[in-house]
Structure 1
Amino acid sequence: MIGSMQRQIARGMGQVRQTFLGVVARGGSKLLQLTGLAGEVLDETELVQQVGFSSHIPEGCRVVVVPLQGKTSRSVVIATDGAPIVVQVNKGETCIYDQFGHAIWLKEDGAHVKGGDLFVDDGNLHVPNGEVIDKKGSMQEMRDIYNDHTNGNTPKPNPQM
């Protein structure tokens, strides 16, 4: 009797698809095409991401695939790994990054931002293609005022800013 029940359970479990690893064949931020075990192809597999975070998953990444109700046709991707760019973090750190090298890195000494027109490195703010602006105006406006000012009959500042 117990042996018969075990065989029926085993047969039923054999019809239920378990969680498995796949590889992204066509990337995306909502739907992915995957290759699974033995070269099977899963089209339009939904990517489930945390609220507030959205990533475009590149081709070649490994993914964790969960077949809902044990059916491959109703699978969702719940985790990804193995992108071309991976940031290694130390104990206690968190990093949000993209595949272009931009990052927001939360470290023990504060937030570090890198990439694009703004990055902070070793406490220095770099804005190579933009302006530093506060409530009173921009750094360039401050330079322009300084460079043009005089004190009575004195000449303009030398050197200029």
Structure 2
Amino acid sequence: MIEAIRQQIGKAKTQIRQSFLGIVARAGSTTLQLKGFAGEVLQDTEHYQQVGFCSHIPQGSKVVVLPLHGKTSRSVVIATQGGAITVDVASGETCIYDQFGHSVWLKKDGTHIKGDLFVDGQIKDKTGTMQQIREIYNNHNHGNSPVPNQKMKG
């Protein structure tokens, strides 16, 4: 009797899919097509990301797949790794980066930004804004000299 119960439990355990690794076959930011074990293909697998962060997962990236309720058809991606660019951060550091080489790296000695910076609002430091700097420059003179003939545009 106990052996029969063990066999039933063992059989039931084989029907519950555990988490596994996959490879992104079709890239995306919310749903992905994945290749699993032995050529298995998972269509339209949801990719869960942290609130405030959204990224387009490149083709060929490795992913951690979690089958909800143990069912492959209800799988979600919970982590990714292995895009074209990777960053090796030191202890305590955080880096947000894309596959084009742009990054915001929070290092021990301060924030480092790699790449061009485009801002829709004001750029400001502890003494003023970029617009205030333009206004001061455009209206300044040296003694009796005229104000600059090439104005900084804002």
TM-score (norm 2): 0.82
For residues 6 and 89 of structure 2, what CA distance do their matches in structure 1 show?
46
* Partners of 2:63 and 2:78 within 8 A in 1: yes
Counterpart secondary structure, 1:142: helix
The alpha-carbon deviation at position 112 of structure 1 amounts to 1.6
The residue number in structure 1 matching 2:110 is 110
The residue number in structure 2 matching 1:29 is 29
The alpha-carbon deviation at position 40 of structure 1 amounts to 0.8
Amino acid at match of 1:39: G
The residue number in structure 2 matching 1:59 is 59
The residue number in structure 1 matching 2:99 is 99
Flag the 1:144–1:8 CA change in 2: closer, same or farther, 3 A: same
The alpha-carbon deviation at position 137 of structure 1 amounts to 2.6
* Partners of 1:132 and 1:138 within 8 A in 2: no
* Partners of 2:61 and 2:82 within 8 A in 1: yes
Amino acid at match of 1:102: H
The alpha-carbon deviation at position 91 of structure 1 amounts to 0.7
C-alpha distance after superposition, 1:43-70 (max 9, x if no partner): 1000011111111100000001111111
The residue number in structure 1 matching 2:139 is 145
- For structure 1, the 5+ residue unaligned runs are 119-126
Counterpart secondary structure, 1:60: coil
Counterpart secondary structure, 1:137: helix
Amino acid at match of 1:81: Q
C-alpha distance after superposition, 1:80-123 (max 9, x if no partner): 011111111001111111111111111111222222236xxxxx
The residue number in structure 1 matching 2:48 is 48
Amino acid at match of 1:51: V
For residues 3 and 16 of structure 1, what CA distance do their matches in structure 2 show?
20
Amino acid at match of 2:51: V
Give aligned pairs, total.
145
The residue number in structure 2 matching 1:121 is none
For residues 12 and 35 of structure 1, what CA distance do their matches in structure 2 show?
25
The residue number in structure 2 matching 1:74 is 74
For residues 135 and 39 of structure 2, what CA distance do their matches in structure 1 show?
61
Aligned residues with identical type, % of pairs: 55
TM-score (norm 1): 0.79
Flag the 1:82–1:135 CA change in 2: closer, same or farther, 3 A: closer
